[in-house]
Structures are given as structure tokens and as C-alpha cells.
Chains A and B, each alone.
Chain A
């Protein structure tokens, strides 16, 4: 089970924050196939948010094939939703931290790092939209 949290200042719509947190938890292996997501009532009560917002997030995850709704039981992580292989993640993370060290040594601060990273991945995103 995961616990959702909200960033009121991020400007990201609430339902999307929930979607991203489930995606992230699956990707990092915190949520496994078959795990149950918090019930709508639990999320509504703990975050003081509208029930339709939670339903919208869960429907979006359902449509993306990441979770499945089981009538009367709740919402569960889909059996074919897989985390990135852990060894792969470790390897990527360590090569990224090597890159971060080099960038810091070259005088970039955190903001500069983030901007450079965002800029480097942008062409892929643009190509996908076009």
C-alpha cells in the first residue's frame, strides 16, 4: 500500500499528481503487481480532496493498463505492470551520479543541472508530439 501526498504549489493538477505517484511507485518497485491501491474513501479522507479527482486518477491509470479495477474489491496494480529491472536502475543511477559530479566540478549549480537535463531530453519529447 502506498500513501499519497500532494504538492499544493507545484501547479500540477491533483489527479495528475496521484497518477504520477502510482507510476513512480511501480517504476521503483515500491508497488508490485497485485498490490491494492488505497480506496477512494481513504484517499479522499486523508488528503481532503474530491472523490471525482481520485476516480479520475484511477481511471487514467486503468486506461494506461497500469491498474485494474475489480468490482466491489478495489483497485489493484495490473499483473503485467513491471518495474524497471533493479540492476539496470542501479547502473543508470551510478552513471548519472558520475555525470552530476562532473557537472558540479564544471561549476553548475542544481538549477543549472536540472535545466541542462531538461534541455537534453526535450528533443525526444518534441519528436513524440510531432
Chain B
């Protein structure tokens, strides 16, 4: 990348566009009513608890599974109908980064070279050297972090336009996690690579990602640039009030009450507030947890009940 051009191509077609996308297994929807657009060059965090539909969304995007409803277009193509044109342009690292444990690192790269038309062998060898991995060593003998790096190297050496990472760092220790994310971010600084990274670990995502998708119970709760998420969400605290009065102008994400105090986490979009409310900024983790319906222990007000629980806490 040269100069200070904007990474996200303004006006160009989105890297991923889903419209009413859904996937049902038997009677159970793994994902439904999913409508979203991810711009080219974005690094998107796909967060939600296990079983929320993250893997299903990623699998639909690479055509590993077929939608029950709606459609998804990736780099302008249909993963079902244009797989031959699409797959060389997409890198995918599945959960637990499966590799052939019996192959050496060098043999693994050879396989990558054979099956990927756009394979960049210099890049692959350079990465392995930079990581200090012996080419002759069996993949099964590598540490978890090193295996993740080999899987990532395979995906990046395809020189993909879109990189999908399914829980890539969940099993890694903090140092390996950081090294893995560094490799991903360096790749985005060099090309217009679009990245979608699913994770149930929320810490650090604010630094690493610029877009956020929150999935919960098979539905998207929020799709937004992270800047806007942080700018539009506020925690309001004030005397005990019926949240309906404020819900007319704001979306209340989470409410909790004590005998005398009401705390509301709202999506504000620049509305002015009654001066009886005290306004607090909230960090990304707090916002995500609010959407997921959890309550972080010891949060601002000291109230202990969940949002749905309207009982009064007596201190």
C-alpha cells in the first residue's frame, strides 16, 4: 500500500453480501434472517457465544454448506454456482486448523502449491523461515501456535482477496495469539485483503478489527463499523425511571434497576439527554456483552440482576 489511501474501497462492491440468508438443520435454525454487507479491505470480528451461528455463516460464505433461505454473494460471486472461480480467491482456516500431521512442513507447502493456482511460493517459504520452523519437521510435532501459523501461511500463500478465520486463536496461548494476529494484520497492510475472524474471545478485537458483527441465537444483533459502535453506545445512570420514556428515542440494549437507580445501555445516535441522566462511555467488551445478554460482574452500578430480571435488589 502506498501513501495514505483508504483501505476500504469506497463505492466498490462489498466483499461479502448476505440477503435474508438462513440455514436450518432439521427444525433448528443455525442462522436466519441474516442481511449484511462487509466492505472490501475491512477486518471484521464475528462474535457470539458457541452455537450462535458463526461457523455456519463462514461455511455458507465458502459454499461448504447450502443456504435454506436467502443468498450470500462473496466477491460478487455465488459460492454455490461459481465455486471454481471463487475458491482460489478465498482463504479459509477452519477451527483447530486441520493439517496432515504426518506430513513435514515442506511437504505441506508442496501440497499447497499443487492445489492452488495462485500459490506464492516465495511468500510461503519466507513466512516459514521468519517463523523459524524447520522444513523437515513433521507438522504433528509442532506446537499449537506453530500449527496455526502453518495453516495461516497456507491460506495467505494463495494470495486470497478474502480470508475467513474460524476461531483461529481460541486454542492459542497469549503470545501465539498475538503472533497469529500480527501475521494477519501485516497481510492486510500490504494488500486490499478483507478478513472475517470469528471469535468468542472479545478482548483485543477493538484494536485488531474495524467492523463488528454480533451473532446470538442464530440472528445478527449488530452489524457496524467499530468506530460507530463506540460512538453510539452509552451507559445512562439516573434515578429509577421507566425505561419506556427513553426507549422512544433510543434503543435500550440492556436495562437494570436497583431500588433507586436505573442503568440503561442504549444505542444513542447523537440524541440529547435529560440532565438527570449521567452519561458514561462504554468499551467494546461491555457493549458486546450487553447484546449477548450477559452482565459483567462488578459493572458500573453494582446492580447484580440480569436485564430481564425486574426484581429490586436490596443492598
Contact = CB atoms under 8 A, between A and B. Distances in A.
B133 interface: no
Given A45-B182, A51-B189, A58 B207 contact: no
A11 B3 contact: no
Interface string B204-221: 100111100000000000
A6 B3 CA distance: 23
Given A51-B189, A52-B210, A75 B4 contact: yes
Contacts of B3: 69-72
A82 interface: no
How big is chain B's contact interface, by range?
20 to 34
A50 interface: yes
B274 interface: no
A73 B1 CA distance: 10
A51 B189 CA distance: 6
A60 to B, nearest CB: 10
Nearest to B281: A11
B141 interface: no
Contacts of A70: 3
A52 B8 contact: yes
B6 interface: yes
B178 interface: yes
A11 B230 CA distance: 11
B43 interface: yes
B7 interface: yes
A55 interface: yes
Nearest to A67: B4
A94 interface: no
A8 to B, nearest CB: 8
A49 B207 contact: yes
Interface string A49-68: 11111110011001000000
Interface string A1-20: 00000100001011000000
Contact of B186 (A11, A41, A62): A41
How big is chain A's contact interface, by range?
20 to 34
Interface in B182-199: 182, 185-186, 188-190
Nearest to A15: B227
A40 B2 CA distance: 9
A58 B186 contact: no
Contacts of A47: 207
Contact of A45 (B5, B8, B185): B185
Contacts of A124: none
Contacts of B189: 39-41, 44-45, 51, 54
Nearest to B205: A50
Given A55-B4, A69-B3, A49 B208 contact: yes
Contact of B188 (A51, A71, A75): A51
B226 to A, nearest CB: 9
A48 B230 CA distance: 20
Contact of B209 (A50, A62, A69): A50
B4 to A, nearest CB: 4
Task: Give 9 closest A-B pairs by Cβ, nearest first.
Answer: A41-B189, A51-B189, A72-B2, A69-B3, A69-B4, A44-B185, A71-B3, A44-B189, A49-B207
Interface of A: 6, 11, 13-14, 39-41, 44-45, 47-55, 58-59, 62, 69-73, 75
19 contacts: A14-B207, A41-B1, A41-B186, A45-B185, A45-B189, A47-B207, A48-B185, A49-B185, A49-B208, A50-B207, A50-B208, A50-B210, A51-B189, A53-B210, A58-B4, A69-B3, A70-B3, A72-B3, A73-B2
Given A13-B230, A53-B207, A59-B4, 12 more contacts: A6-B207, A41-B189, A44-B185, A45-B182, A45-B185, A45-B189, A50-B188, A52-B6, A52-B41, A69-B3, A69-B4, A73-B2
Interface of B: 1-8, 41, 43, 178, 181-182, 185-186, 188-190, 204, 207-210, 230, 281
